[in-house]
Amino acid sequence: MGLRPENIHALSLAGLQDDTPELLCIDDIPWTGVFPSNTFALVDHNRLLPQYEASNSNVQVVTVIDHHEDEGFYQHSAEPRTIAPAGSCSSHMTRLCPPQIPAGLASLLLSAILIDTQGLKVGGNALQVDHEAVAFLLTKTSLSSSSSPTELSPSGNNLTDLKFIQDLTTKLSEKKFAVSHLNTRDLLRRDYKQYNLNLPWVHPRTTIYAGLSTVPVGFKWWIPRDPSEFWSAIRQWMEENGLYVLGILTSYHEKKIGRSGKGRHKRQMLWVIREGAELFQTSERIKGESNNLIEEHARVDVDLLASRLWDGLQDSEILQLKKSDFEKFGTSEKDAGGALRVRIYKQGNTDATRKVTAPLMKSILEGPVDAAGKMRL
């Protein structure tokens, strides 16, 4: 919880204690091997991670609420199954709420939406569903008691101009970007999502793990603090999570102040490919011999994996990437070590978030190749 001070502040506004003893987190549940439940509801993602399915009989996903790309799972088991665009998944959660909800819950949902949409920023990622959710929540939370009913209309952009919205967004943003005390490992894991990718160009049943970390600081500040610790922490994080691919997506404001009163928004990307152990694929059991399995081996060519990723990213019109030199950030590819393939970019389209990058990464790495090994899109 300490990695996300903006969340702690939002929870305090909802009436929870500072150390949040009221919350049950996943690592509060003692389990090894098989997860102690086979029924799941997914929020803010729409595919169950493999560790919850491992050796777990009759696993069923009964609810999905998400705003990322629909991966097509659980269409017959999940009800409700809401997967649709929104600036914040909490806006979809708000739509599920009854007309009367506790003020604390309204405050928590409102804070989450403002964090995700930068206060319903005009020209940002906020959609009509977000504006409608905020307008509803403002009438339910005690935080906005000083606002008049006419100010709470979802029409136009007046919600963005509401002083209460601006003040709360500023406070949450200050908390969110107060990360100077975090080390590299903490910055990697504070806003992290993991993906299970299929690589049919290696073998029909080859799968790898890929991760994406969104970090609210630039590499020019981050890496020079301790370049050796930076690369060491990345290697350890990838080994710990069994990752072949790690994308680090920075989103920050430069110090130079403009007319808006704050620095220009910038994004960068650092991609890391790690040499991994040999992969094993196991086919179906041989007919009539229940104890025999056909076991096949396949090794991922990390150089081919890297070249596919670099080519696909650089060809992306939506990201608008420009390759950078590591020397600008006080390090080098050599510092990363021989087991890692690395590439760093400046991102031209600062509106393209992880919701854009994740499906792009998936399409690049899962796509077929031609006879010459070139990617076919």
What DSSP line would sit under 273-310, residue for residue? EE--PPEEEEEEEPTT-TT-EEEEEE---HHHHHHHHH
Omega cis (within 30) before 80: yes
Listed as own residue / partner, the contacts of 311-317 with beta carbons closer than 8 Å and 24 or more positions apart are: 311/364, 311/375, 312/360, 312/363, 312/364, 312/365, 312/367, 312/375, 312/377, 313/269, 313/271, 313/343, 313/345, 313/360, 313/364, 316/360
Q: Is 197 helix (H, G, I), strand (E, B) or coil?
A: strand
Q: Report all structural domains of the chain as residue ranges with CATH numbers, in order of start.
A: 5-176 (3.90.1640.10), 184-366 (3.10.310.20)
Q: Is 326 helix (H, G, I), strand (E, B) or coil?
A: helix
Provide the Cα torsion 150, 152, 153, 155; round to 10°.
120
pLDDT tens for 255-285 read: 765 555 567 889 999 999 998 766 655 544 4
pTM: 0.78
For residue 191 the two structure tokens come to: 């806003």
Burial class of 180 by CB neighbour count within 10 A (0 to 12, 13 to 18, 19+): exposed
pLDDT at 18: 81
For residue 264 the two structure tokens come to: 């220009």
Cβ 128 vs Cβ 90: under 8 Å: no
Residue from 105, 85, 296 nearest 206 by CA: 296
The DSSP H or E segment spanning 358 is helix 354-366
pLDDT at 264: 87
Cβ 217 vs Cβ 190: under 8 Å: no
Cβ 254 vs Cβ 222: under 8 Å: no
pLDDT beneath 50, residues of the chain: 156, 283-291, 371-373, 377
For residue 206 the two structure tokens come to: 């080859």
CA 140 to chain centre: 29
Cβ 323 vs Cβ 344: under 8 Å: yes
pLDDT at 311: 97
Q: Is 83 helix (H, G, I), strand (E, B) or coil?
A: strand
pLDDT at 151: 57
pLDDT at 23: 93
- CB burial of 124-153 (b: ≥16 within 10 Å; e: otherwise) equals bbbbebbbbbbbbbbebbebbeebeeebbe
pLDDT at 287: 44
pLDDT at 247: 98
Measured CA to CA, the distance from residue 236 to residue 243 in angstroms comes to 10
For residue 27 the two structure tokens come to: 């690592």
pLDDT at 365: 95
